Amino acid sequence: MMKDNMEKITSLQNGRIKQWMKLRQKKERDRTGLFLAEGEHMTQEALDAGCVRTLITDLDDPAFAVPETVFVTEPVMKKLSESVSGTHYIAVCKKTDPEVRTYERLLLLDGIQDPGNIGTMVRTAVSFGFDAVWCSPDTCDIYNEKALRSTQGAVFHIPVIYASLPDVIGQLKKEGVCVIASALRNAEEMSGIAPADRMAFIIGSEGQGVSQKCLDSADRILKIEMDGFESLNAGVAAGIIMYTYRKQNSLRFVNIKFTKD
């Protein structure tokens, strides 16, 4: 609750506001290790994950008790928010060091540029029990506001790591992981590839597909059987593959809600 003697930040020229505005830029998120999570649901997910540093709100009596709560006016909140519908909560969060504990099911994203696609893939990976997501350096930043929102909080439930995928593939093979790339040409039909104990799947961008280096490094190349059409949205293709090769009898259903903010 806002104390009677506590002032709200009313100016967009306030130093802290200007610093938080910079977190819309990837280079600033990389430099500081901070990112913004908007909306009540995302704030709750971030709090549960223990990564909230500061809560920004334009409500005098917020629903969350955060030690460092900064009160702002409605115009300042609207300027800070990138949500079309607006929000009353923005959490300034600290990135956590991802830790991969098991290697049964893994997703590798190669050059995915669309923030909605990467967010959807991360959310799907959590829903189907995948253990981690690796992204090539040229894949969209998962902490991009639209990508983060598309995860619906799933980003707080799975390690998302940016690294050179050929290097990652080499390490996964040493761990006994069967690495399978998704492509249309020189590929086996998905129905002919049986589930294995440890599997990793590479999904490429819709425009470029999986890079040649990753294709050359993969153990097998998979294509989804389609009737009369040879193109799927990358997020849809990833969802089909992850559902097909999900951990049997161990689906992880996470309470990820659809919200307006």
pLDDT over 70 for what percent of the chain?
91
Q: What is the mean pLDDT of the chain?
A: 90
pLDDT over 90 for what percent of the chain?
81
Segment 158-211, tens digit of pLDDT: 999 999 999 999 999 999 999 999 998 889 999 999 999 999 999 999 888 999
Query: pLDDT value at position 3?
Result: 58
Query: pLDDT value at position 254?
Result: 43
Query: pLDDT value at position 113?
Result: 95
Nearest one of 42, 186, 33, 146 to 98, comparing CA atoms: 33
As a whole number of Å, the CA-based R_g of the chain is 20
Query: pLDDT value at position 182?
Result: 95
**Residue 26 and residue 144 in contact, taking contact as beta carbons nearer than 8 Å:** yes
Q: Please, where in the chain does CATH 3.40.1280.10 lie? A: 105-244
For 105-244, which CATH superfamily applies? SPOUT methyltransferase, trefoil knot domain (3.40.1280.10)
CATH assignment of 15-94, among 3.40.50.261, 1.10.10.60, 3.30.1330.30, 3.10.450.100: 3.30.1330.30
Segment 126-142, tens digit of pLDDT: 999 999 999 999 999 99
Segment 78-112, tens digit of pLDDT: 999 987 677 999 999 999 999 999 999 999 999 99
Nearest one of 123, 140, 244 to 182, comparing CA atoms: 244
Segment 112-133 mean pLDDT: 96
Q: Please, where in the chain does CATH 3.30.1330.30 lie? A: 15-94
Segment 56-85, tens digit of pLDDT: 999 999 999 999 999 999 999 999 998 767
C-alpha 59/C-alpha 138 separation (Å) is: 38
Query: pLDDT value at position 226?
Result: 84
